[in-house]
């Protein structure tokens, strides 16, 4: 016996035999009208049932109460809710403002913040950290661990956005999910259309970007490298460089940006800078806690190559921040780099 096939009705032999027998299947009917009629009938019955239901309700006191709760009760509740919420907010604001009146006066000599900690930061800060910019010295030397945590906050925020929005390029997708070739091709075409759909013909934007972007990058680099000498540092310099990348991207589009900044570059910079930073921090904290001499010369304060580990940390943090800024932009705009 031949094997039983499930789709025997489609086989040419079956069709031929049915043709010979004369009972060819009817052409597929258009059921739309019948379906619409059914829907209409269902709606009608629902209406009549509802009408009955409402009539019932009107006679029943319990149902009356229930309907009140459903109809106007919600409205009343919502009104009370809004009023209470507003009152609550006003109370909290009033409380916080009143609290300010009881706080120590800002800037006076006798504030508790004006204690031995601030004194030491100001008196010995330059000598101990080698940084002329005391804020940088404070966040990268005295409270280095907090700053390391903050950098990780940025990294993990970027990862969270990736969880939400990332959709990888077609080639990587095919490797990851083992999809068929056809689907990958379709996906690829969609991606290309996506890129083509960008409007990158804005002459004014492009001309200005051509002039401004190099300056922005230079300025960002300046802020990074001078973090220990003048106001600035890793976070601010990185933000400036990230803004430069975003401006370049919005003027020239993703395809031109991808020539020097795609996901691989992002990964390398991100992982490289964070891991190096972690190693530096581990070395610094370990030697500091165990009382070992870190053996890194602080140099003369005021020179560009001074202040020991602060300069490399600023550079690494700046790279990480710039990448993260651009990653946010790219992920929100397109879902990939």
Minimum distance from residue 125 beta carbon to another protein (Å): 10
Q: Which is nearer to another protein, 173 or 212 (CB)?
A: 173
The answer to the question of residue 278 lying near another protein (CB under 8 A) is yes
Residues 97-136 interacting with another protein (rule: CB under 8 A): 98-99, 102-104, 111-118, 120-121, 128
SS3 229: coil
Q: Which of 219, 249, 251, 213 is nearest to 318 (CA)?
A: 219
Residue 280, burial from CB neighbour count under 10 angstroms (0-12, 13-18, 19+): middle
Give DSSP secondary structure letters for 83-117: HHHHHHHHHHHHHHHHHHHHSPPTT-TT-TTSSHH
| Residue 331 within binding range of another protein, rule CB under 8 A | no
Burial class (CB in 10 A: 0-12, 13-18, 19+), 228: buried
Q: Is 213 near another protein (CB under 8 A)? A: no
Instruction: Single out the segment in contact with another protein by CB under 8 A; choices: 63-71, 77-85, 205-213, 285-293.
Output: 285-293
Burial status of residue 295 (CB atoms within 10 A of its CB: 0-12, 13-18, 19 or more): exposed
Question: What gap in Å lies between CA 228 and CA 255, rounded to an integer?
Answer: 37
Q: Identify which range of 66-74, 252-260, 276-284, 310-318 contacts another protein by CB under 8 A.
A: 276-284
**In this chain, which stretch among 17-25, 40-48, 95-103, 222-230 interacts with another protein, using CB under 8 A?**
95-103
Task: Determine the Cα–Cα distance for residues 20 and 107; give it in Å rounded to an integer.
Answer: 104
Query: Would you give the binding string for another protein spanning residues 293-322, x where CB under 8 A is met?
Result: -x----------------------------
Give 149 or 180: the residue with its C-beta nearer to another protein.
149
Q: Tell me if residue 232 falls in helix, strand or coil.
A: coil
- 244-273 residues in contact with another protein (CB under 8 A) are 267, 270-271
Question: Which residues of this protein are in contact with another protein, per CB under 8 A?
Answer: 95-96, 98-99, 102-104, 111-118, 120-121, 128, 141-146, 148-150, 152-153, 155-157, 159-160, 162-164, 166, 168, 172-173, 176-177, 267, 270-271, 274-275, 278, 281-282, 284-291, 294
């Amino acid at each position: 016996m031949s094997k039983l096939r499930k789709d025997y009705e489609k086989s040419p032999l079956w069709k031929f035999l049915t043709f010979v027998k004369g009972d060819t299947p009817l052409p597929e009917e258009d059921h739309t009208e019948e379906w619409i009629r059914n829907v209409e009938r269902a709606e009608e019955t629902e209406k009549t049932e509802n009408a009955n239901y409402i009539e019932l309700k009107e006679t029943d006191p319990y149902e009356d109460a229930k309907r009140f709760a459903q109809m106007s009760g919600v409205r009343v509740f919502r009104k009370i809710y809004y009023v209470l919420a507003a009152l609550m907010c006003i109370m909290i604001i009033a409380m916080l403002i009143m609290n300010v009146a009881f706080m120590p006066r800002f800037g006076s000599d006798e504030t508790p913040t004006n204690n031995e900690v601030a004194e030491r930061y100001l008196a010995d800060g330059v000598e101990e950290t080698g940084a002329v910019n005391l804020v940088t010295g404070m966040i990268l030397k005295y409270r280095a661990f907090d700053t390391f945590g903050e950098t990780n906050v940025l990294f993990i925020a970027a990862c969270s956005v990736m969880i939400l929005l990332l959709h990888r390029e077609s080639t990587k997708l095919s490797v990851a999910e083992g999809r068929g070739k056809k689907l990958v091709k379709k996906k690829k075409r969609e991606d290309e259309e996506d890129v083509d759909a960008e409007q990158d013909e804005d002459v004014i934007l492009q001309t200005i970007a051509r002039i401004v972007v190099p300056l922005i990058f230079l300025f960002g680099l300046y802020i990074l490298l001078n973090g220990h000498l003048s106001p600035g540092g890793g976070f601010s310099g990185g933000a400036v460089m990230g803004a430069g990348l975003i401006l370049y991207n919005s003027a020239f589009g993703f395809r031109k940006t991808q020539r020097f900044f795609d996901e691989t570059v992002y990964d390398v910079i991100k992982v490289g800078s964070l891991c190096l930073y972690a190693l530096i921090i581990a070395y610094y904290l370990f030697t500091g806690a165990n009382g070992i001499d870190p053996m890194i010369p602080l140099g003369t304060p005021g020179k560009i190559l001074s202040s020991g580990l602060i300069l490399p940390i600023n550079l690494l943090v700046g790279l990480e921040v710039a990448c993260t800024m651009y990653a946010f932009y790219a992920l929100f705009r397109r879902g990939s780099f």
